[in-house]
Homo-oligomer: A and B are copies of this chain.
Amino acid sequence: MQQTRLTGKDVAEHDNKESCWVIIHGKAYDVTEFLPEHPGGAGVILKHAGKDATEAFEPIHPPDTLDKYLDRSKHLGGVDMSTVIAEEKSFDPDEESRQQRIALMPPLGKCFNLHDFESVARQVMRRGAWAYYSSGADDEITLRENHSAYHKIWFRPRILVDVEQVDSSTSMLGSKCEVPFYVTATALGKLGHLEGEVVLTRAASRHGVIQMIPTLGSCSFDEIVDAKRGDQVQWLQLYVNQDREITKRIVQHAEKRGCKGLFVTVDAPQLGRREKDIRTRFEGAASDVQKNNPGAIDRSQGAARAISTFIDPSLSWKDIPYFKSITKMPIVLKGVQRVEDVLTAIEHGIPAVVLSNHGGRQLDTAPSAIEILADVMPELRRRGLQDKIEVYVDGGVRRATDIIKALCLGAKGVGIGRPFLYAMSAYGEPGVVHAMQLLKDEFEVAMRLIGARSVGELGPEFVDVRGLSMHSVPTPADFLSSDVYDRLVVPAFAVKSKL
């Protein structure tokens, strides 16, 4: 049916709480009734009431959002965009200097390790996007512990082994892959790159790397699956919805589209407090907020809270049979954090777990996955259960040596999230491809240097973990004594005469 196109003026009249229309991708929507339900709060929509909201909508909503969540009767049809008055962008000095940094950013070839991507991304990403990706819970102690825990593990390299050929391939959940790491699920890919998660899909395809598709992607699930090539393997990460029918629909659709594993997130009955994210969000909104009335900003607590209100906090072990009843995909628990729960998982016939603290984004001073792994595997071996379950870890991995340490301690594979997001945000697909290549190169070198030819040869005898479980916090500094200390110095160069 041919409809008369709406004009900008038509829409502009609905610019308030009583009647709120917005334009997204050239179409108008009546969101008046939806306002109180919006997970991100009504306020953020009302800012765009009567106007084109595409730019704000895009990065944090998959394209099928409106179809899924807004009744068709509220889809008001196309707008003649030539009649919409373009909002004059106010000059934004932060954005200005960001654009300057982008113009001067180092060429991709100067990134020699995963940290390098992070350093570039921090400079070239939008502040809110950076805050969302990089933030962790509370004091971000766990966030940082995740990587530094790897420095407590030292190698015991083996010499005089013929390492001419090194094979990095392995299998996970029965699927072969070129390398023992996978792209773990991360949300809101379009915050970092216009195209979102499909960039990761394409790069993973280039390197034979498995990708885990997030529930909270910016791209729709189908877009991400459509982007895969050949027999590329994908898994589904699942936040369990309070409405089990929605969950069932998502899971069965994923299975139909070929997903090879279902990773149920179990460390997020509620999303954690990420103050960097909250603060950034709030700083931007500061002028709107009534001074000294914190209640007024309750629903603006960062991107994380906005997108996650549907998650079911009542999820428990008794739900496991339900998941088994709706899918044949292997069901993997993502976010296990103690050995007792690994044992319970085995009792429930779970074929795999991911030891994870959700990238340090949930509970601060939760231990690193690598430390939990070093507790779990000896206990499994003691009970003869080491082959009953595949154990994965994620969080803090930045070097191939980190991966090898996890494999030595018994991990089947290692998930990597943020580093690939940073590579994507800074350099797009070539960035992710290069990042994966660097890891592969590092992996091959490190395998040769510890004297191992294949993933199968790795074992606990290659690592020294004596210091791993020590959580050392230095005694507070004696500033008076250290301040009066006169440091030794190196020889001084002569001062150049000013003549």
Residues of chain A whose beta carbon lies under 8 Å from any beta carbon of chain B: 100-101, 104-113, 115-116, 118-120, 122-123, 130, 134, 138-141, 143-145, 147-164, 266-267, 269-270, 272-273, 275-276, 278-279, 282-283, 286, 289, 291-294, 296-297, 313-317, 319-320, 333, 335-338, 340-341, 344, 362-367, 398-399, 401, 427, 430, 434, 437, 441-442, 444-446, 448-450, 464, 466-467, 469-476, 478-481, 483-496
Contacts and interface: CB of A to CB of B under 8 A. Distances in A.
Contact of A491 (B119, B272, B430, B449): B119
B490 A267 contact: no
A401 B138 contact: yes
Nearest to A463: B365
Nearest to A112: B275
B267 A155 contact: no
A151 B109 contact: no
Contacts of A495: 104
A490 B114 CA distance: 10
This chain's copy number in the assembly: 4
Contacts of A283: 110, 492
Given A279-B112, A480-B115, A157 B366 contact: yes
A125 to B, nearest CB: 11
A203 to B, nearest CB: 14
Given A155-B363, A292-B430, A472-B472, 8 more contacts: A115-B490, A130-B486, A158-B341, A162-B314, A267-B449, A269-B448, A473-B475, A480-B488
B474 A473 contact: yes
Contact of A475 (B141, B156, B313, B445): B141
B315 A160 contact: yes
A336 to B, nearest CB: 6
Contacts of A442: 138, 273
B484 A151 contact: no
B488 A282 contact: no
A481 to B, nearest CB: 5
Nearest to A273: B445
A414 to B, nearest CB: 16
Contacts of A335: 159
Contacts of A472: 152, 467, 470, 472-475
Nearest to A333: B159
A275 B123 contact: no
B479 A471 contact: no
27 contacts: A108-B293, A109-B291, A109-B297, A112-B491, A115-B483, A119-B490, A123-B493, A139-B481, A139-B488, A147-B481, A148-B473, A150-B365, A155-B365, A158-B337, A158-B341, A159-B336, A160-B266, A164-B313, A270-B445, A270-B448, A272-B445, A273-B445, A363-B449, A365-B401, A464-B469, A466-B470, A472-B475
A467 B471 contact: yes
Q: Which 7 A-B pairs have the closest CB atoms?
A: A119-B490, A144-B476, A109-B294, A106-B491, A467-B471, A115-B480, A363-B449
Contact of A490 (B116, B147, B160, B493): B116
B269 A163 contact: yes
A401 B366 CA distance: 10
A113 B480 contact: yes
A141 B152 CA distance: 11
A100 B289 contact: no
A152 B138 CA distance: 16
Contacts of A157: 267, 337-338, 363, 366
Contacts of A118: 484
A481 B115 contact: yes
Contacts of A475: 141, 145, 151-152, 471-473
A108 B473 contact: no
Contacts of A106: 491-494
A434 B270 CA distance: 21
Nearest to A400: B138
